[in-house]
Each structure stands twice: as C-alpha cells, then as structure tokens.
Amino acid sequence: MIRFEEVTHQFPTGLTALEKVDFQIEPGEFVFVVGPSGAGKTTLLRLLLKEIAPVEGKIHFKGQDLNELKSSQIPEHRRQIGAVFQDFKLLEDRTLAENVALALQIQNRQEEKIQEAVLEALNLVGLKGKEKMFPAQLSGGELQRGVIARAIVGDPDLVFADEPTGNLDPKIAEQIVELLKQIQEAGKTVIMATHNVDVVDKAKERVVRLKKGKVVSDEEKGKYEGKS
C-alpha cells in the first residue's frame, strides 16, 4: 500500500527532517513508527497527505507516485487517509456529531447518509449516546475517540494516528491502541506514530524506528525490544 523510496525532506531552514527513508507497508498491516520528538514521525504523515513534498526520492500510495499527483487530484487522495492528531483539532462550538460529520459534508454527501455514517463511527469507537455533547464536556480519552471516529467516518483505506496517546494516562492509552487494532482487524491499514515505548511493547506489532530522520531499525511483529 505504501512505499517510501530513499525519501529525503528538508525544511526551508535547511534542517533535514527525513534522510533517505526506505520502507514499505502492506495493505492491512498495523505498524508503529517510533522515535523521540523531532525524529521525523509527523513529517511522514504530512508527506503522505501531500501537504509537503520530498526533495529527493519517491512515495507510492496504492501504486500511485505522489510526485505525479496533480493539484486537482489531492483532495480525493486525502480522502483515502484518515488522520488522527494528538491535539484533537475538534471545533469547540460544534457537537461531537457535527465535528465527525464535517468531512462528509465537505464531500457533499446526502445528509441522511452522513448521519448514518456518523452514528456508525461513534458507535464503533464507544461514544454512542454522546453525539450532542461538545468537546469541552468530554474527557481526554473521549476526545481522542472522537478524533478517531472523524478519521474513519469516510471509510479511508489508511488510518495514520500521530501521537494519539501523548496526553492520556496509561490505561486510556492502552484502550486507544486497542481501538486502533480493532480498526486494523476490520480491514484498514493503521500506522501509529508514537514515542510511548510502553504501549508499543504491549501491542507486539511491527515497529519502524526513526532517529534523527533516519530509519534505524524495522522490526517484525512481536520482535520490538523497547529501544528509545
């Protein structure tokens, strides 16, 4: 599904965020991308979303070379990727259901279909009955579940969760990882970027480890050794 070929990205300041990154991810995999802050994890997501472009190398998504995407094709490409952000990015003046529905409204879906999809997504993440609540009324774990519901409501092929447990206590963090694994088991490809070694150790999934923008190890499912 995803192939990075010798991908390098530099910021305008000259700082190298990724250097000759090379790996691939098959459809239906669950993959952790681990590393400390500044290792390049968020840059991977931005490259996949076509928010930025590599200065060297190629990125293929479902067989498409992202370097060849026209600007008119980018919105459709992004609909195939559900992004989960650490800082939630939920609109405070909208209910949970309204936040989850936004992506589908932008696509001009029929209102009846939108409501069905929103309720299904919220039920899947364990937030049934909280549709009319506002973000300020929800706990941190509920907010993150809401963000995951928003990411999956459009039925994307890939869910990329960027530090989804960063602000959560250990028990809630484990629940979020378990939820993402359930989504993967339902047929999605899931990438979770994190620096939380504890949740990675317990999950026993494949781990791609970044350090200073380089892939320093790629360890198969169940083989991660808990290195920072």
Question: pTM for this one?
Answer: 0.92
Write down the pLDDT at residue 228. 44
Helix (H, G, I), strand (E, B) or coil at 158: strand
Question: Rounded to the nearest 5 degrees, what angle is found at the Cα of 84, between the Cα atoms of 82 and 87?
Answer: 150
- Encode the chain (228 residues) as per-residue pLDDT tens digits: 999 999 999 988 889 999 999 999 999 999 999 998 889 999 999 999 999 999 999 999 999 999 999 999 999 999 999 999 878 789 999 999 999 999 899 888 899 999 999 999 999 999 999 999 999 999 999 999 999 999 999 999 999 999 999 878 889 999 999 999 999 999 999 999 998 888 999 898 999 999 999 999 999 876 655 554
What is the model's pLDDT at position 79? 94
Pairing of strands 81-85, 56-61: unpaired
Report whether 151 contacts 83 (CB < 8 A).
yes
Sheet with 56-61, strands from edge to edge, namely 16-25, 2-10, 56-61, 64-65
Question: Residue 211: what pLDDT?
Answer: 94
CB 49 within 8 A of CB 30: no
Q: What is the DSSP string of 169-217?
A: -HHHHHHHHHHHHHHHHTT-EEEEEE--HHHHHHH--EEEEEETTEEEE
pLDDT score of 66: 97
Q: What's the CA gap between 145 and 33, in Å, rounded?
A: 20
Q: How far is CA 189 from the centre of its chain?
A: 10
User: Given the structure tokens 């003046």, which residue do they identify?
Assistant: 93
